Amino acid sequence: MAKKDKLPKLGLLYLDYVLRFFDRSNFKGWPDKIEQVVYHWGNDKDRFIEEVKRKKIDILIGNIPATAYETFKEIAKALPHVRFVPSIETQFANKSKENVTLFCEKHNLSHPKTKIFYNKEEGYKYLEECEYPIIVKRSYGPSNYGGYYVHKVKSKEDAIKLFDKKKYNPMYIQECIPLRADIRVMLIGHKPACAFWRVAGDDMEITNTSQGGYMTYEGVPMGALELAVEASKAAKAEYWACDIAEYDGKYYILECATAFAAFPYFRDWIGQYLMWDFSGGRFKKPHIPLYNWEELGKINPSLLRTMRHLEFSKYIPSADGAYYINDKDAKWDVELTEESVPEDIPDNSHLLENIKDEDELPEVVKEEAKKGEEIHDEVDDGDIHIEEATLTELMTLHGMEEDLAVEVLKFIKTHKINSLEELMQIEGIDAQTLKVWAQNLKK
């Protein structure tokens, strides 16, 4: 039996004041020790880098809060051989609403029309001429502040009053898509693994479950899932969440990020998926059926949040001749679900517990946050550099399948690649495929 490749050393990235999204239990079965590194707010950069080096960590797993994004860009530079999961680039959208907009524009993802003004005069001028209602958001800071920084503004007068009072900079102004509900889609490895509607409460005009709306796992449209997949692929995100609005048959990304709240079983799935990625395919990629949420959503949330390490086996596709017969059985009959109740909401209290309002944040955190405000971000080019490609990145290529991605990765690791054409030595890759891949995959 051939000796297996050595597995990379994993480390979990924690920050003070921020909920620990993963712990070791999410990586059940990983044979080696998993390290932990904690970033302390304030002037901790160098110490942190030292600790990662000392512990010989190859992969650092964890979300970076918006406020520390700029610092971590520097940290990543100082640790060129460490893979951040999700990558710093992937977490770009986490940082601010403005970044979400930039990200969507860059990748041609459907997004509400948005104007961002750093120049107050221009911004106020725009308020004079734009059509109302509009949505005004505070661009920086975590998105999950419970809607306190999202406002629906019905008139010019109200808008001016709001900006006078809140002094948001930049002025982030978005077309208002009329909706009573939006859709949260959570993805793992570009596949929707959980999704639900968030429906506004009776007297609310902006959807937010933490302000008393309710949610339902029923009838999430395929178009929303498709858009979320597109975004996840564009971000090359190992795991990802999108908030999507539907209006008049079209879908719009409202928010997207790698930071979101999720039940433990969901984090286990991410762990299983990451283990597949990190091991180059030695661990099996978990199979998570589409629309599983409609069924899991029937489970009482107080029970569901205690369930761990759920697994599904794969459906065997029908043989061609039997297509008419098999097709009927292949469809999930998920039409009937119990009526959802407010308690169905995934637990995101941790964020609210820790951060009630921006003003309550420790000064050091606020200072960190300010660091980035002057820097205008650019989205990265979206290219995958073949020598450093991960399985997750390879999975964003058109026509890629998981087994093929593992083969490509092996090939990359065992060959010196001079041109992409060399990949044609791999069974199942032809010139047309490469032509499509070449748009993202670079030597």
Partner 1 sequence: MKQLYHSYDEAISLFKELANRRPDIFRVQKIGETWEKRDMVVVTISQDMEKAEDKPALFFTGTIHAREWIGIELAIAFAQYVDRNIAYDEMVKSAIKNTTIYMVPCANPDGFEYSRNHFSFWRKNRRQNADGSYGVDLNRNFPVGFVKSKNPSSNVYGGPEPFSEPETRALRDFVLSHPNIAMALDYHSQGNVFFPAHDFRHEDTIDTTDLNVLCANMAEEIRKISDREYGIHQGKPPAKLISGSGREFYYSQGIIATVVEVGTRNISDYLDDMIEHIREHIPALLTAARETPNYKRDDKIPRPQNFRATFVGKDNVTLEWEPYDCSGKDDIYFEIYRSKREKSYCRPFNLMGLTQANRFADNNLQSDTAYFYHIRAVDRNSGKKSPFAPVLAIRTHVDDDEFHRTYFPIPSKSGYVAQKIEDNSSHFGNNSLFVGVNETKGVAYSVVTIPLKTIPENAVIKKARFRLYPLNRVGVTVEKYGEWDVGLVDRATMGDITKFEDVENMKIKTYIGRPTPSNHLSQGIWRSWELSEVECKELQKCIKDKEAVFRVEGPKELTVGRTSQMMQWDLGYGKYGEGLAFRPHLEITYSVEPSRIELFPKQSHTVSNSGTEDGKIVCGFDKDGKKIYATFDFELGSLPSWDFLAITRAYIVLNPVNVYAKDNIRFHLEMIDSEVERDYEAIKQRHIIENIGYDVSISELKNEEQVFLFDSYAIQEFGNRLQQKKPVAFLLRPSSAHKLVKNSVVEWHSSHPEYTPKLVIEYLNKRRKSVSPVSNLKYTIENGKVKLSWTNPKDADFKGVFVIKNPFRKPISPYDGDKLYGGPDNWTYDDFGALDIDKYYAVFTYDNVPNFSEPVILEYKAKR
For the CA atoms of 224, 393, 274, 63, what is the dihedral angle to 10 degrees? Answer: -70
To 10 degrees, what angle do helices 120-129 and 156-166 make?
160
Q: Does 381 bind partner 1 (CB under 8 A)?
A: no
Whole-angstrom distance, CA of residue 138 vs CA of residue 168? 6
Contact 269, 288 (CB under 8 A): yes
- Please report whether residue 284 would count as binding partner 1 according to CB under 8 A: no
Contact 233, 190 (CB under 8 A): yes
Q: Is 157 in the site for partner 1 (CB under 8 A)?
A: no
Task: State the residue for tokens 């969901």.
Answer: 266
CB half-sphere exposure, 429, CA atoms < 13 A = 22
With contacts defined by CB under 8 A, name the span among 82-90, 143-151, 330-338, 416-424 that binds partner 1.
330-338
Contact between 281 and partner 1 per CB under 8 A: no
Please, which residues bridge with residue 385 across strands? 442
Q: How far is the CB of 219 from partner 1 (least distance, A)?
A: 9
CA distances from 195 to 100, 186, 262 (A): 20, 6, 11
Asked if residue 228 binds partner 1 (CB under 8 A), the reply is: yes
- Closest contact distance (angstroms) between CB of 110 and partner 1 is 12
Q: Is 29 in the site for partner 1 (CB under 8 A)?
A: no
Task: Indicate which single residue of 74, 157, 226, 338 sits in contact with partner 1 (rule: CB under 8 A).
Answer: 226
Using CA atoms, how far apart are residues 275 and 440, in angstroms rounded to an integer?
A: 24
Q: Does 223 bind partner 1 (CB under 8 A)?
A: yes
Stretch that binds partner 1, among 20-28, 108-116, 154-162, 226-234 (CB under 8 A): 226-234
435 binds partner 1 (CB under 8 A): yes
Measured from the CB of residue 221, what is the shortest distance to partner 1 in angstroms? Answer: 7
- Residue 229 contacts partner 1 per CB under 8 A: yes
- How many residues touch partner 1 under the rule CB under 8 A: the total is 36
How far apart (Å, rounded) are the C-alpha atoms in residues 195 and 179? 17
Q: Is residue 295 involved in binding partner 1 (CB under 8 A)?
A: no
Closest CB to partner 1 among 23 and 402?
402
Task: Tell me the C-alpha distance between 269 and 290, whole Å.
Answer: 13
| Residue with smaller CB distance to partner 1, 50 or 421 | 421
CA distances from 155 to 135, 158, 160, 161 (A): 11, 5, 9, 10
**Alpha-carbon distances of 51 from 20, 21, 61, 64, rounded to whole Å:** 18, 20, 15, 17
User: Residue 313: left if φ>0, alpha if ψ -120 to 50, beta else—which one?
Assistant: beta
Residue of the chain from 6, 248, 317, 360 that contacts partner 1 (CB under 8 A): 317
In whole angstroms, give the CA distance from residue 216 to residue 222.
15
**Minimum CB–partner distance for residue 192 and partner 1 (Å):** 5
Find tokens 């502040």 and name the residue: 145
**119-127, 202-210, 223-231, 381-389 -> range binding partner 1 (CB under 8 A):** 223-231
List the one residue from 122, 399, 415, 443 that touches partner 1 (CB under 8 A): 399
Which residue among 320, 353, 374, 378 contacts partner 1 (CB under 8 A)? Answer: 320
- Structure tokens that stand for 317 in this block: 């596709």
How far apart (Å, rounded) are the C-alpha atoms in residues 92 and 73? 10
56 binds partner 1 (CB under 8 A): no
Q: Is 424 in the site for partner 1 (CB under 8 A)?
A: no
- 130, 206, 290, 420: which one binds partner 1 (CB under 8 A): 290
Q: Residues interacting with partner 1, by CB under 8 A?
A: 189-192, 221-223, 225-226, 228-229, 249, 289-291, 315, 317-318, 320-321, 323-324, 327, 330-332, 334, 398-399, 402, 428, 430, 432-433, 435-436
